[in-house]
Amino acid sequence: MDQRDQKDPWLSHQPRPPVIPTPRGPVPVPPTFPPRRQLSLTVNGRKVSVAEGTTLLEALRGIGIDTPTLCYLETLTPVNVCRICVVEVEGSRTLVPACSRKVEEGMVVKTDTERVRLSRRLVVEFLASSVDVSTSPQIQAYMNRYGARPQRFGPASPPAGHRDAARAGYHEATDGSRAATVGQPVKKDNELYYRDYGKCILCYKCVEACGTDAQNTFAIAVAGHGFEARISTEHAIPLPESACVYCGNCIGVCPTGALMFASEYEMRQSGTWDESRQTQTDTICPYCGVGCTTTLHVQDGKIVKVTSPLDKDVTRGHLCVKGRFGWQFVQIRDPGSERR
């Protein structure tokens, strides 16, 4: 039938024909899942029961055992590379990472043995002796907790300028008198954030946030090999030439301050950054209709950075460039300004 012969139902105010398509087969029903099996395990001598599919970390948290983590984040796929969360599992030759290992029936787990403490302490010592952890309160707390003494490995070597060009499988000869570090010049190639990879513990979080776990932009990846592995754009090109869209989600997940808002970095440099004078206020991003929660960090009446809480379902801590960086308009205070 020629459509044009018909009157437009809207114009003629006639009821519209039903548009619900008739299903060609049986109407699909939502899948039902068998109830999750309960598994029992023993933790430090205590019997615990958890649902199948739970990770050891979740199980331990559930019973109030605080397990250290660095590369784990609720909103990201576990990469289990930092190895600070290791625990002892009976029957396993090595320690196992709690963050990614799923509970199995009858597991016998110990979380506070000398063996566990030794590995955790060495992980912290390895990091603190090779990375600048001065802006990572988390690692500093673990250092205290495990009695880490990174100075045991000797004085730190000076920063090197050529990590971006390191050749896989080769390193410069060492005489051992200085502990090699990842120290290197700070990267500042855009207005919005600094990349100080001398503070990078290679937790892979920024890469995940830039990739399929959040942003799907893939501007950065782990390049290189071994101790010379590093977060990098292709050929280490500056961010403005890369795929980066400045969502800042990498900053949001970075546990060490290696990625830092320009505002925070510059205030720290000039000695004016003072978290004790800061307030945090949750609000909704003013830009689009998604409704992301933003947390405004305010010092002396000025927004100094914007984060987003992980536990809000709308974006699980991730924002876009506008919500993350587009707040300068709020604080134009110059009395002579036209836009007051």
Task: With CA atoms as reference, report the closest residue to 33 among 56, 48, 53.
Answer: 53
Q: Answer positive or negative: Cα dihedral of 218, 127, 308, 240.
A: negative
Q: Which is nearer to ligand SF4, 65 or 163 (CB)?
A: 163
Window 187 to 216, contacts with ligand SF4 (CB under 6 A): 200-206, 209-210, 215
Q: Which is nearer to another protein, 219 or 260 (CB)?
A: 219
Q: Which stretch binds ligand FES (CB under 6 A): 31-39, 80-88, 130-138, 177-185?
A: 80-88
Q: Hey, which bits of the chain come out as E strands?
A: 38-43, 46-51, 86-89, 96-97, 108-110, 193-195, 221-223, 230-232, 259-261, 278-284, 293-299, 302-307
Q: State yes or no: residue 242 binds ligand FES (CB under 6 A).
A: no
Q: State yes or no: residue 298 binds another protein (CB under 8 A).
A: no
Are residues 232 and 164 in contact, defined by beta-carbon separation less than 8 angstroms? yes
Cα gap 185→295, rounded to integer Å: 30
Q: Which is nearer to ligand FES, 83 or 225 (CB)?
A: 83
The angle formed by the CA atoms of residues 147, 148 and 153, to the nearest 5 degrees, is 145
Element (H, E) at 138: helix 137-146
Single out the residue of 72, 126, 246, 273 in contact with ligand FES (rule: CB under 6 A): 72
Q: Which is nearer to ligand FES, 80 or 242 (CB)?
A: 80
Q: State yes or no: residue 83 binds ligand FES (CB under 6 A).
A: yes
Of ligand SF4, another protein, ligand FES, none, which one sits near residue 205, judging by CB under 5 to 8 A according to partner kind? ligand SF4
Window 160 to 179, contacts with ligand SF4 (CB under 6 A): none
Binding residues for ligand SF4 (CB under 6 A) = 200-206, 209-210, 215, 217, 219-220, 231, 244-250, 253-256, 258-259
